[in-house]
Amino acid sequence: MQVFGALLSPFVRKVCLVAEEKGIAYELVMSSPGNPNPDFVAASPFGKIPAIKDGDYNLADSTAIITYLEAKHLEQPMLPADPQARGRAMWFDEFADTILAASGLKIVFNRLVGPKFLNIPGDEAAALQGEAELPRILDYLEGVAPESGWLADDFTLGDISVASMLRTMTYVGHGPDAVQYPKTAAWYARVCERPAWKKVAAVEDAPRG
CA distance 39 to 2: 9
Stretch that binds ligand GSH, among 18-26, 56-64, 68-76, 149-157 (CB under 6 A): 56-64
Quote the least distance from Cβ 66 to ligand GSH, whole Å. Answer: 9
**Closest separation between CB of residue 121 and ligand GSH, Å?**
17
Of the pair 117, 198, the CB lying nearest ligand GSH is at 117
Given candidates 50, 80, 122, 158, which one binds ligand GSH under the rule CB under 6 A? 50
The distance of closest approach from Cβ of residue 149 to ligand GSH in the complex, given in angstroms and rounded to an integer, is 25
Ramachandran quadrant class, 47 (left: phi over 0; alpha: psi -120 to 50; beta: rest): left
By CB under 6 A, residue 97 contacts ligand GSH = yes
User: What CA–CA distances, in Å, run from 3 to 78, 155, 158, 209?
Assistant: 18, 23, 20, 20
Where are the extended beta strands (E) located within the chain? 2-5, 27-30, 51-54, 57-60
Residues in contact with ligand GSH by the rule CB under 6 A: 9, 11, 33, 47-50, 61-63, 97
